[in-house]
Amino acid sequence: MAAIELRMPGLRTKLVVYTVLIVFAVAGAVSAISITLAHQASVAAFERHATVLAKTLGEAVLEPLYELNVKLMRQQVGSVLAGEGALRVMILDAGTRVLTDGTDENPLRGKEFNEPYLRQARERAEWVTRLQDGVIQVAGPVQATADRRLGYVVLEFSTARLDAEWMKHIRLTLLLAGVCAGLASIAAVIMASWITRPIKRLTDFATSIRLGSAMRKIPECGHDEVGRLADAFTDVLNHLDHSNAELKELANSLEQKVKERTQAAEAGNKAKSEFLATMSHEIRTPMNAVLGMASLLEETSLDEEQALYARTISESGEALLDIINGILDFSKVEAGKLELRTAPLDLEELLSGVVRMLAPNPAESRVALRLEYDPEAPKNIQGDEGRIRQIIVNLVGNALKFTEAGSVTVKVTGRAAGGMAKLRIAVTDTGVGIPEDSLEKIFTAFSQVNSTASRDFGGTGLGLAIASRLAHLMGGGIEVQSVLGKGSTFTFTCALATAEDLVTG
């Protein structure tokens, strides 16, 4: 399913949209105010007209009302009813009973008229005008003297013509507002294009630079803020070009220096590895002869003191040979020439043999060495038996070396899946432990936890360094957790093929 790219609106679009929205908002507000004020003015004018007409009628019927000349009153009322918009015109007596409604039939004559606006006019003794449901209602007293009231005049006019004029005014106002808004929108589009044109030029130029263009001439962007921005962009671009040139020159220089130093380091490492390998071989040859002669010497008839000397020569030679072998292994690892041999093996049997070989004599030691092999862990694997034994011997030997009392436990866990066995071999002791600040350096070649360790316990500091690198070659590593005074746990992890998946010819 193709991804939908969402693009934000550009500056030109924003300017046009914002300007049009403002124009329409202003036009709408002005139109609403204009229509409202015009309507209020029209209603007020109509109310004044109706009030004046009612007062005029009241003056005209003063004498007929005094004489109770209903015919003359009907004529006066009829002339008012003939006017546009008149709905009802009545003359009432002082008790608010209808004398005439302007018609010949005069069906309301004698009936009491008691509308709220008439009661208000009676109570206030003044003319009252009210607009209700599209009808303007006017009522007021007909006074013979200040103290004598002859009756009342009631007029009701429809506002239909007023409403029609109001709707016409609304349509005209909206039309004018729409025309003005449209013209303003066109002007906004033109102005937005004029304002954003230099910005678009500068943006296109910046995009071309980002895409790798070598052009450095910035397009004309005017002399306003955008023009000053373009000038600043020119300065930044020139500075960046200068800085890039310097960085490129510096990078080339550093690359050459790194290359030279790498070659020198590789040559040094190669010479060191070759020297170590050569010296190891050269020393091991006469050392084997020394050990052979010492072994033959021990088989001859010697007194107790001579046998002690011969045994001391053999043990010292074996220790020195272990150191030479360690240096040879380390030089091979450093030179990348150490290759692992793959063959089927029974891991549980291998570890059991190491435990039996290294288990201390119960009569001479207070340390118990035991193996815990998880039944679910794979046993038949493909690996370098000698190198695996070398790692375990080193970890177990160190644990026994630094544990005076307690136990050393070799615990094996792991699972097989997809023809691969992922194993964890943890060697846990209850020895002296390792300080936290020394945990990171114990896997460094020729490193000891402290300066007295080699004197107190012996060793060159190569064992863990070689074991760690061998573990990496097996697709794993060695981790350590330790609490000073309580003991340590070294965990060897590896990923090896299971023996069942071996294809033999």
Cα gap 253→257, rounded to integer Å: 6
> Is the pLDDT score of 456 beyond 50?
no
Report in angstroms the alpha-carbon separations of 65 from 59, 70, 94, 106, 149.
Answer: 10, 8, 10, 16, 10
pLDDT class of 222 with cuts at 50, 70, 90: low
pLDDT digits (tens, 9 = 90+) for 126-148: 888 888 888 888 888 888 777 78
pLDDT at 248 over 90: no
pLDDT at 11: 67
pLDDT of residue 131: 84
With 70 as the cut, is the pLDDT of residue 378 above it? yes
For the chain, the average pLDDT equals: 79
* Long-range contacts at 74-80 (CB < 8 A, ≥ 24 apart): 74/100, 74/102, 74/103, 74/104, 74/106, 77/101, 77/102, 78/102, 78/103, 80/53, 80/155
Higher-pLDDT residue of 233 and 78 is 78
> Looking at 138-142, 176-180, 200-204, which range is the least confident one?
200-204
How far apart, in Å, are the Cα atoms of 116 and each of 61, 146, 348?
A: 23, 23, 112
pLDDT bucket at 504, cuts 50 / 70 / 90:
very low
pLDDT, residue 7, reads: 55
Q: What pTM was computed for the model?
A: 0.43
Instruction: Please name the amino acid found at residue 314.
Output: S
The torsion angles phi and psi of 97, rounded to 5 degrees, stand at: -95, 145
Please tell me which of 49-63, 230-244, 372-386 the model is most confident about, judged by mean pLDDT: 372-386
Whether the Cβ atoms of residue 396 and residue 354 lie closer than 8 Å to each other:
yes
- Between CA 126 and CA 160 the distance in angstroms is 27
CA distance 294 to 312: 9
Least confident of 2-11, 17-26, 87-96, 271-280: 2-11
Contact between residue 358 and residue 396 where contact means Cβ atoms under 8 Å apart: yes
**Is the pLDDT confidence value at 457 over 60?**
no
Give the torsion through C-alpha atoms of 448, 454, 459, 463, to 10 deg. Answer: -10
> By percentage, how much of the chain surpasses pLDDT 90?
17
| 43-47, 223-227, 339-343: least confident range | 223-227
Torsion of CA 42, 47, 48, 49, to 10 degrees: 90
Residue 451 has phi, psi (to 5 degrees) of -70, -20
Q: Per residue in 257-283, pLDDT tens?
A: 888 887 877 777 667 666 766 666 667
3-state secondary structure 35-90: HHHHHHHHHHHHHHHHHHHHHHHHHHCHHHHHHCCHHHHHHHHHHHHCCCCEEEEE
Span 242-251, average pLDDT: 81
Residue 12 confidence (pLDDT): 67
pLDDT computed for residue 215 by the predictor: 66
C-alpha distance from residue 449 to each of 346, 433, 484 (Å)? 34, 10, 12
Could you tell me which of 223, 218, 222, 221 has the C-alpha nearest to residue 205?
218
Phi, psi of 139 (to 5 degrees): -145, 145
Please report, in angstroms and rounded to a whole number, the separation of the first and last CA atoms in the chain: 49
How far is residue 118's CA from residue 505's CA, in Å, rounded to a whole number? Answer: 124
Sign of CA dihedral 179, 181, 185, 191: positive
CA 399 to chain CA mean position, Å: 48
